[in-house]
Amino acid sequence: MNEPSKNWWIIFHKDQILLQKQNDKFSLPCNEQSPIRIPKGSTVHEICILETLPCKAFAIEQSIEESKDYVLTGLRASYDLIPLVQYQAAGKAAEILHWDRNSRFCPVCGTKMIQKETIMKKCPACGNEMYPAISVAILVLIRKEDSLLLVHARNFKGTFNSLVAGFLETGETLEECVAREVKEETGLDIRNITYFANQPWPYPSGLMVGFIADYAGGELQLQDEELSSGAFYTRDNLPELPRKLSLARKMIDWWLENGK
């Protein structure tokens, strides 16, 4: 008889994820059985294969008591605690659980949707298929001589400053989105808009696409509803920066290492 195989278990209570603690090291739980009883009627989602073992995810309504072996922590905070591949799998699981909660009924005819695949549901009445929606947002690092533009948006969770960001609108290219967001939020014109990198952003279900650009003209005029502060900063005069997990921080670190 084959030995029962192990699974990674990604278990969310709201935005908190269950981590196992062994010898002061954290990881996703990895066992044959879930460390928590799977609530009746809940879907266990197959997320991905991680180091040859399946990753399974489900959500629990009731919080659980933490112990010396198991703790609950925010997904963002887990970035500093668990290996990157585990954080990435947990991020994907968070997006799929978010989608599952928000796609219970067919938006065409109102019938209860049926899960067919990890990322596909189908309406048994009208045949409508649904897939997780990903919100695309841009980030832009604007250079001006030996400084870069950092802003504090009112929706930031914390006191740090970061890059100008905004959501892609329908019918728009990414570069058009970058130019529009910068104009709307700061009043500035930019040029040399160049792709830098991208990153899944599971808060709750996004993709961040980063661009570098150069200041081309205009006076800094902040859009008051979105931004509470913003300025060009030189490297010896930087404010509090975003945390290491974000693409924004990777871009700022790149600028710090690579000069103007």
Q: Which residues in this chain contact Zn ion in the complex, by CB under 5 A?
A: 106, 108-109, 111, 123, 125-126, 128
User: Residue 26 gets which letter from DSSP?
Assistant: E
* Min CB(97)–Zn ion separation in Å: 22
Determine the distance from the C-alpha atom of residue 74 to the mean position of all C-alpha atoms in its chain, rounded to a whole number. 12
* Min CB(186)–Zn ion separation in Å: 44
Q: Which is nearer to Zn ion, 21 or 122 (CB)?
A: 122
| Neighbouring residues of 150: CB distance < 8 A, sequence distance ≥ 6 | 161, 162, 163, 230, 231, 233, 238, 239, 241, 252
* Min CB(128)–Zn ion separation in Å: 4
Q: How many Cα atoms occupy the beta-carbon half-sphere of 252 within 13 Å?
A: 26
Q: Count Cβ atoms below 10 Å from residue 160 Cβ, excluding itself.
A: 16
* Min CB(121)–Zn ion separation in Å: 10
Q: Which is nearer to Zn ion, 111 or 229 (CB)?
A: 111
DSSP output for 206-250: EEEEEEEEEEEE------TTTEEEEEEEEGGG--PPPPTTSHHHH
* Min CB(124)–Zn ion separation in Å: 8
Least Cα distance to 11 among 67, 85, 62 occurs for: 62
| Burial tier of 169 (Cβ tally within 10 Å: 0-12, 13-18, 19+) | exposed
* Min CB(59)–Zn ion separation in Å: 24
* Min CB(105)–Zn ion separation in Å: 8
Q: Which is nearer to Zn ion, 33 or 111 (CB)?
A: 111
Q: Which is nearer to Zn ion, 39 or 124 (CB)?
A: 124
Using the Cα atoms of residue 65, residue 67, residue 70 and residue 75 in order, give the sign of their dihedral.
Answer: positive
256 near 233, Cβ under 8 Å?
no
Distance, CA of 225 to CA of 29 (rounded, Å): 42
40's tokens:
């009746």
